[in-house]
Amino acid sequence: MAHVRFTTPIALTCFALAFVFGLTVSHPSAVLRADSQDVVRLVDGTAVNLATPSFLQVGKRYAFTWPGGGPPQTYAVKTIRPDGWILVEVADETTRPDLYIPGEFPVRWLHVGLAVSVQEMRPLP
């Protein structure tokens, strides 16, 4: 009678799967579960405040570079808040002045604390 050896990859794989399955069935406590007593709490009073830079002035133009890349965008500042938000006229590069009444250009709020750089520009002639 010939001696049978289990050296084929299929036989070894079946043996390994049977061993792992046997361990899982024989030890049901191996399943990890969260304890119902665990509670996560947040600390009171933690806040991030990105203040408005002190050099910004109402009425002046600034070129803002944003983290996404691309060329700087130039805005004229209309209103400044202390929490980083500024009200600006829409970028001069994309606005056609002949389509708007002077002084009534579109506006938007920007958070200057998110800018990569801010550069003061010359006044418009």
Domains and CATH numbers, the chain: 61-120 (2.30.30)
* Mean pLDDT over each residue of the chain, to the nearest integer: 77
Q: In angstroms, rounded to a whole number, what is the distance separating the alpha carbons of residues 63 and 121?
A: 7
pTM over 0.75: no
Is residue 6 pLDDT above 60, yes or no?
A: no
Nearest C-alpha neighbor of 75 from the set 93, 86, 62? 62
pLDDT of residue 19: 65
- The upper half-sphere exposure of residue 8, i.e. CA atoms within 13 Å in the direction of its Cβ, equals 4
pLDDT tens digits for range 57-77: 999 999 999 998 889 988 889
Question: In the 3-class helix/strand/coil scheme, how is 48-76 assigned residue by residue?
Answer: CCCCCCCCCCCCCEEEEECCCCCCCEEEE
pLDDT (tens digit per residue) in 36-45 = 777 777 677 6
